Structures are given as structure tokens and as C-alpha cells.
């Protein structure tokens, strides 16, 4: 399972501020750059996921994440894809309590250091 690289968290958070009122998700691909995928571009992304080793499972989880985030406009699904088939999918939001955010960042740092 791939976790977001801790160095990317600030760029993901900045992007979340920019798109907080739009429907869609944050995508991090092999180039390690975060981009916003609007709901109107979802079918294109789902088509690309068919080429991914775990594409059908991932597409199903992604749709469920979008559904769960619909009521919470400040949280967006974040999908990290790697070529080897590993991925990380989670909800990230803005306006979380600083303690919770710091705890999540510390957890991601531990996971990243363990994987490295």
C-alpha cells in the first residue's frame, strides 16, 4: 500500500483550499504531483483505472469515497497511484483540528519511513 509522501501533504492541503467548493478528488500519480480531478472528468479517470492492476476494486472504492465525501465539502478523496499496482485512497480535508492533522502527519511519516 502506498502512502502519500509527507513532503506532498502541504501541496495537497493547498490544492484542497483551492478546490474546497468543487466536487471531485485529488490525484497523485507516479510523477508525485497532486492534481484535481473534477467530477466531470471522473469517467475518463475510471477508464484509465481499467489499465491499473487493481483497477476494478480501486474504481469501486473511489466511487464510495466520492459518495462519502459528498456531504462534507471540505474533505476530498485523495488517490495515490503507483505503477506497481499499489495505491492509497483516503479522505483528506481542511479545517481539521491541528492536533488531528499533526497526528495524521506523524502516522504518514512513520509509514513512509517504514516503507523506505
Residue 11 resides in a domain: yes
pTM of the model: 0.72
Residue 1 resides in a domain: no
- Would you state the cell numbers that stand for residue 65, as one nine-digit string? 469515497
Grid cell 492509497 — which residue? Answer: 88
Report how far residue 83's alpha carbon sits from residue 102's, in angstroms, rounded to the nearest whole number.
29
Residue 75 exposed, middle or buried by CB count within 10 Å (0-12, 13-18, 19+): buried
pLDDT digits (tens, 9 = 90+) for 39-87: 999 999 988 888 887 788 888 888 888 887 776 656 888 888 877 777 8
Residue 83 resides in a domain: yes
Three-class DSSP category at 108: helix
Q: What is the dihedral of CA 42, 104, 97, 102, to 10 degrees?
A: -130
CA angle 83, 87, 92 (to 5 degrees): 135
- Checking if the pLDDT of 91 tops 90, the result is no
Q: DSSP letters along 6-63, please? A: GGGHHHHHHHHHHTTTS-EEEEE-TT--EEEEEGGGHHHHHHHHTTSTTHHHHHHHHH
Residue 97 resides in a domain: yes
pLDDT digits (tens, 9 = 90+) for 12-40: 888 888 888 888 899 988 767 889 999 99
Structural domains in the chain (count): 1
- Checking if the pLDDT of 88 tops 70, the result is yes
Domain containing 54 equals 6-115
Residue 46 neighbours by CB distance under 10 Å: 15
Residue, of 41 and 96, whose pLDDT is higher: 41
Amino acid at each position: 500500500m502506498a502512502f502519500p509522501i509527507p513532503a506532498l501533504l502541504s501541496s495537497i492541503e493547498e490544492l484542497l483550499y483551492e478546490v474546497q467548493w468543487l466536487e471531485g478528488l485529488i490525484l497523485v500519480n507516479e510523477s508525485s504531483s497532486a492534481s484535481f480531478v473534477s467530477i466531470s472528468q471522473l469517467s475518463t479517470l475510471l477508464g484509465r483505472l481499467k489499465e491499473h492492476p487493481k483497477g476494478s476494486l480501486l474504481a469501486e472504492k473511489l466511487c464510495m469515497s466520492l459518495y462519502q465525501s459528498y456531504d462534507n465539502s471540505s474533505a476530498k478523496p485523495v488517490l495515490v497511484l503507483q505503477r506497481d499496482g499499489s495505491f492509497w485512497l483516503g479522505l483528506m480535508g481542511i479545517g481539521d483540528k491541528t492536533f488531528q492533522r499533526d497526528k495524521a502527519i506523524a502516522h504518514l511519516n512513520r509509514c513512509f519511513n517504514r516503507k523506505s
